[in-house]
Structure 1
Amino acid sequence: MGFFDFLKQANINQGIEEYKKTAGAVLLDVRTPQEYQEGHIPESKNVPLQQLNNVVSVVKNTEIPLFVYCYSGARSRQATGMLQRMGYSKVNNIGGIAAYSGKVEK
Structure 2
Amino acid sequence: MGLLSMLGLGGKSESVKEYIEKGAVIIDVRTPGEYQGGHIKGSKNIPLNTISLKVNEIKKLGKPVIACCASGMRSGQAASILKNNGIDAMNGGGWSSLQNKL
TM-score using structure 1 length: 0.72
Query: Residue 74 of structure 2 corresponds to which residue in structure 1?
Result: 75
Confirm or deny: 8 A CA contact 2:8 2:90 kept in the other structure.
no
1:4-49 deviation digits (Å, cap 9, x = unpaired) = 33368457666654443223x2110000000000000111000000
Q: Of the two structures, which has the highest relative contact order with CA contacts closer than 8 Å and spacing of 6 or more? A: 1
Q: d(CA) in 2 for partners of 1:10 and 1:69?
A: 14
TM-score using structure 2 length: 0.74
For 1:94, the aligned partner's letter is G
- 1:26 and 2:1 matched: no
* Larger relative helix fraction: 2
Larger radius of gyration: 1
Q: RMSD between aligned alpha carbons?
A: 2.8
For structure 1, the residue ranges without an aligned partner over 5 or more in a row are none
For structure 2, the residue ranges without an aligned partner over 5 or more in a row are none
Count of residues paired in the alignment:
99
Distance 1:16 1:39, change over 3 A: farther
